[in-house]
Every structure is written in C-alpha cells, then in structure tokens.
Amino acid sequence: MEPSLHTLNNLFAQLGLPSDDVEIDNFIQTHSHLETSLSLSEAPFWTPSQAAFLREEILKDADWAEVIDQLNTRLHSK
C-alpha cells in the first residue's frame, strides 16, 4: 500500500487553521523568521494540541513528516 501524500493545505486543515492558499501564505508571512534554535513545535503560536501533533508526527516519521518539514523550512526562512 502506498502512503498517502499530504499537502500544506491538508496540514493546515488538520491543525484546524484556514487552509486556502491565501490564508496559508498570510500565516507564513506573519509567523516566519523563527529562530533557528526553536523547533517548529515549540513556536509560541501553536496551541498545545497543534504542537503535540507536529512533534509526534515528526518523531514517528509519519506520512505528515514531509509536509511538516516544508512548513518548518518556510517558517524558519529569513
């Protein structure tokens, strides 16, 4: 069985956030420039459940890991 492929839009919906392209771009623009020493799940703008989801999916190297890595890269860009 092939693993499911998730998109950034799916990830934002999973996190309970607006998931259309414009809202995602606005979120990233608002919250980008995270310190490199701060992991994505430790960012102050996540709820506890959002942070736990992000942390757990990366630790499990789950289907969501690739798109979470993409979000991580975009939020840490300078």
Tell me the angle at which helices 21-31 and 65-75 cross, rounded to the nearest 10 degrees: 50
| CA dist., res. 5 & res. 59, Å (int) | 18
pLDDT tens readout for residues 21-59 = 999 999 999 999 899 899 999 999 999 999 999 999 999
Does 73 have pLDDT greater than 60? yes
For each of the domains in the chain, give its residue range(s) and CATH number, in order of start. Answer: 8-75 (1.10.10.1130)
Percent of the chain with pLDDT over 90: 86
> Rounded to 5 degrees, what are φ and ψ at 16?
80, 25
CA dist 18 and 2 (Å) reads 28
pTM for the whole structure: 0.89
pLDDT of residue 5: 82
What pLDDT is stored for residue 77 in this prediction? 84
